[in-house]
Chains A and B, each alone.
Chain A
Amino acid sequence: MLGKLALAGIKNRRRDYLVLLAGLTMSAAIFYMFANLATNRAFLKANAMVNQASIIFGFGAVLLILITIVYIMYANSFLLSMRQHDYGLFMMLGATRKRIGELVFLETLILGAVATAIGIVLGLLISQFLVGLLLDMLGLHLAHLSAFYLPAIITTAVLYVGLFILASLFNMVRLTRTTVLKLLHTDEQANQPKIHPFRQMVAAVLGVAFLGIGYWALAAIKTLQMTAIPVALVTITIGTYLLFRATLLVIIQGLRRTKWAKRHLNGFLLGQLNFRVYNYTRMLTIVSLLFAMALGAITVGSGYHRQLPMMANSIGTYTVAIHNKNAQEQKLIDQLNVEHQATYTQKRQGKVVYYNAAELQQQPFELSKSAQLAKSLKHPKFYTESLAKFKKNGIQDFDFQSLAVRQDMGFYTPKILNAKQFAKQKGTTLTVTTVRVKDLVQDQKVLKQLNHMEVKRFALPEQVTVGNYQSYEMMSGIFGGLEFMGYFLGIAFLAMLASCLMFKILSGAPGDKQRYQMLYKIGVRQNLMRHGIAKEIGILFLIPGIMGVIDVLFGLQMFKPIMSSPMSPYLGIGSIFAIFIGLYAIYYAITLTLYWRIVLPKAPTN
Chain B
Amino acid sequence: MTTNTVVNVHNLEKTYGKANERQYKALKGLDFTVEAGEFVGIMGASGSGKTTLLNMLSTLDVPTKGDVVVNGHDVTKMRGNQLADFRAQEVGFIFQDFNLLESLTAEENIGLPLALKGTPSRVMDQAIHEVATTLSIADLLQKYPAELSGGQKQRVAAARAIVHHPSILMGDEPTGALDSTSARELLDLLTTINQKQHMSVLLVTHDPFSASFCQRILFIKDGQIGSEIKRGEQDRSAFYQQILNELGTFNE
Residues of A within 8 A of B (CB): 187, 189-192, 256, 259, 262-268, 271-272, 274-275, 515, 518-528, 603-606
Contacts and interface: CB of A to CB of B under 8 A. Distances in A.
Given A262-B124, A606-B62, A521 B146 contact: no
B115 interface: yes
B89 interface: yes
Contacts of B80: 526, 603
Contacts of A275: 103
Contacts of A263: 115, 118, 121
A523 B111 contact: no
B143 to A, nearest CB: 9
Closest 10 CB pairs of A and B: A523-B88, A523-B87, A271-B103, A189-B146, A189-B102, A262-B121, A525-B84, A271-B104, A259-B121, A604-B61
A526 B115 contact: no
A525 B85 contact: yes
Interface in B103-126: 103-104, 108, 111-116, 118-119, 121, 124
B103 A526 contact: no
Interface in B76-103: 80-81, 83-89, 91, 93, 95, 99, 101-103
Contacts of B102: 187, 189-190
Of A256, A265, A274, A525, most buried by chain B (CB within 10 Å of CB) is: A525
Nearest to B87: A523
A571 B86 CA distance: 57
Contact of A271 (B89, B101, B114): B101
B41 interface: no
B81 A527 contact: yes
Contacts of A526: 80-81, 84
Contacts of A266: 115
Of B60, B85, B160, most buried by chain A (CB within 10 Å of CB) is: B60
A532 to B, nearest CB: 11
B27 to A, nearest CB: 13
Given A524-B88, A525-B85, A603-B83, A268 B112 contact: yes
A48 B119 CA distance: 67
A522 B93 contact: yes
Contacts of A274: 103
Contacts of A519: 101
Contact of B62 (A187, A262, A524, A605): A605
A259 B144 CA distance: 20
A119 B249 CA distance: 69
B104 A522 contact: no
Contacts of B49: none
A271 B108 CA distance: 9
Given A192-B144, A268-B104, A271-B104, A521 B99 contact: yes
B37 interface: no
Given A262-B115, A271-B108, A523 B144 contact: no
Nearest to B113: A522
Nearest to A525: B84
B115 A267 contact: yes
Interface of B: 58, 60-64, 80-81, 83-89, 91, 93, 95, 99, 101-104, 108, 111-116, 118-119, 121, 124, 144-146, 160
Given A262-B124, A523-B88, A524-B88, A268 B101 contact: yes
A605 B66 CA distance: 15
Interface of B is mostly: helix
A604 B63 CA distance: 10
Nearest to A606: B62
A522 B88 contact: yes
Contacts of A606: 62-64
A266 B116 CA distance: 9
Contacts of B104: 267-268, 271
11 contacts: A263-B118, A268-B103, A521-B95, A522-B87, A522-B93, A523-B84, A523-B86, A523-B91, A604-B62, A605-B62, A606-B63
Nearest to B65: A606
A570 to B, nearest CB: 42
A267 B111 contact: yes
A296 B79 CA distance: 50
A271 to B, nearest CB: 4
Contacts of B108: 256, 267-268, 271
B62 A521 contact: no
B223 to A, nearest CB: 17
B67 to A, nearest CB: 14
A486 to B, nearest CB: 41
Contacts of B86: 523
A521 B87 contact: yes
Given A264-B116, A526-B84, A518 B101 contact: yes
A522 B85 contact: no
Contacts of A603: 80, 83
Contacts of A264: 115-116, 118
A190 B104 CA distance: 11
Contacts of A521: 58, 60, 87, 93, 95, 99
Given A521-B93, A524-B116, A603-B83, A515 B103 contact: yes
Given A189-B102, A262-B115, A274-B103, 9 more contacts: A262-B121, A265-B115, A271-B103, A275-B103, A515-B103, A518-B101, A522-B88, A523-B84, A524-B116
Of A262, A271, A519, most buried by chain B (CB within 10 Å of CB) is: A262
A263 B83 CA distance: 20
Contacts of A268: 101, 103-104, 108, 112
A31 to B, nearest CB: 37
Contact of B101 (A256, A259, A515, A523): A515
A256 B103 CA distance: 12
A272 B64 CA distance: 37
B114 to A, nearest CB: 8
Contact of B113 (A256, A515, A523, A604): A523
B102 to A, nearest CB: 4
A570 B136 CA distance: 63
A274 B113 CA distance: 20
A135 B130 CA distance: 70
A521 B83 CA distance: 10
Contact of A518 (B63, B84, B99, B121): B99
A187 to B, nearest CB: 8
A275 B101 CA distance: 12
A265 B115 CA distance: 7
A605 B18 CA distance: 10
Contacts of B62: 604-606
Given A272-B103, A524-B88, A604-B60, A262 B113 contact: no
Nearest to B89: A523
Nearest to B102: A189
Contacts of B115: 262-267
Contacts of A271: 101, 103-104, 108
Contacts of B93: 521-522
A230 to B, nearest CB: 39
Nearest to A260: B121
Nearest to B160: A522
Contacts of B111: 262, 267
Contacts of B118: 263-264
Contact of A192 (B63, B83, B113, B146): B146
Contacts of A528: 116
A604 B62 CA distance: 6
B142 to A, nearest CB: 11
Nearest to B56: A604
A94 B61 CA distance: 35
Nearest to A273: B103
A412 B87 CA distance: 95
A263 to B, nearest CB: 6
